[in-house]
Chain A
Amino acid sequence: MPDSTFLDSTELVLNMGPQHPSTHGVLRVILKLDGERILGTDCVIGYLHRGVEKIAENRTWAQFNPYVDRMDYVASVSNGLGYCLAVEKLLQVEAPPRAQAVRVILTELNRIASHLLWLGTHALDIGAITPVFYCMREREEALKIFEQYCGARLTTHAFRIGGLQYETYDGFEREVKAFCRMFPPKVDEYEELLTNNRIWGGRLKGVGVLTAEECKEYGVTGPLLRAAGVKWDLRKAQPYSGYEKYDFEIPTRENGDTYDRYIVRIVEMRQALRIIEQAVESIPSGPIMGKVPKVIKPPVGEAYVSIEAPKGELGYYVVSDGSTQPYRCRVRPPSFVNLQALDRMVRGGLIADIVAVIGTLDIVLGEVDR
Chain B
Amino acid sequence: MADEQQPEGAGTPPPAKGEADKPPAPAAKPVPPKPAAPPPKPPAVMAAVPWESDLARAAKERFDDGIKAASTYAGQNFIVTAPDAAVPLLEYLKLEADFDYLVDITAVDWPKRPDRFDLVYIVYSFSRNERVRIKTAIPDGFKPATAVDVHLTANWLEREVFDMFGIEFAGHPDLRRILMPEDWQGYPLRKDYSILQQDERWVRENLGIESGQ
Residues of chain A touching chain B, judged by Cβ–Cβ distance below 8 Å, are 45-46, 49, 51, 53-54, 57-58, 60, 89-90, 92, 216-219, 230, 232, 237-238, 294-295, 297, 299-304, 306, 313, 315, 317, 319, 321-325, 327-328, 330, 332, 336-337, 340, 369-370
Contact = CB atoms under 8 A, between A and B. Distances in A.
A328 B108 contact: yes
B104 interface: yes
Contacts of A370: 179
B51 interface: no
Contacts of A319: 108
Given A58-B195, A324-B18, A51 B188 contact: yes
A322 B133 contact: no
A219 B90 CA distance: 14
B144 to A, nearest CB: 17
Contacts of A306: 103
B89 interface: no
Given A299-B47, A327-B108, A340-B155, A321 B12 contact: yes
22 contacts: A45-B178, A46-B180, A57-B7, A58-B7, A216-B126, A217-B151, A237-B129, A294-B20, A299-B47, A304-B76, A304-B122, A317-B104, A317-B122, A322-B44, A323-B13, A324-B20, A325-B14, A330-B106, A336-B156, A336-B160, A340-B156, A369-B179
A60 B21 CA distance: 10
Contacts of A315: 103-104, 122
B46 A49 contact: no
B179 A337 contact: no
Interface string B18-47: 101100000000000000000000001111
A302 B73 contact: yes
A322 B126 contact: no
Given A54-B188, A324-B18, A46 B178 contact: yes
B69 to A, nearest CB: 14
Contacts of A57: 7, 191
Nearest to B9: A323
Nearest to A61: B20
A89 B73 CA distance: 10
A45 B157 CA distance: 13
A332 B103 CA distance: 8
Contact of A321 (B11, B104, B189): B11
Contacts of B73: 301-303
A317 B10 CA distance: 18
Query: Could you say which of B7, B101, B102, B193 has the most chain A C-beta atoms within 10 Å of its C-beta?
Result: B101
B120 interface: yes
A45 B179 contact: yes
Given A217-B151, A315-B122, A321-B11, A330 B104 contact: yes
Contacts of B157: 337
Interface string B188-213: 11010101000000000000000000
A232 B164 CA distance: 31
Nearest to A50: B179
Contacts of B104: 304, 315, 317, 330, 332
A17 to B, nearest CB: 16
A321 B44 contact: yes
A328 B100 CA distance: 26
Contacts of B109: 328
B46 A302 contact: yes
B181 interface: yes
Interface in B123-171: 126, 129, 131, 133, 151-153, 155-157, 160, 164
B74 interface: yes
A90 B46 CA distance: 11
Contacts of A313: 103
A322 B156 contact: no
B74 A301 contact: yes
Given A45-B179, A46-B180, A336-B156, A297 B21 contact: yes
A317 B121 CA distance: 11
A281 B47 CA distance: 41
B47 A324 contact: no
Nearest to A294: B20
A321 B13 contact: yes
Given A219-B102, A219-B103, A238-B129, A89 B179 contact: no
Interface string B40-68: 00001111100000000000000000000
A337 B133 CA distance: 18
Contacts of B188: 51, 54
B168 to A, nearest CB: 19
Contacts of B120: 317, 330
A294 B179 CA distance: 35
B152 A217 contact: yes
Contacts of B131: 238, 304
A33 to B, nearest CB: 20
A89 B188 CA distance: 27
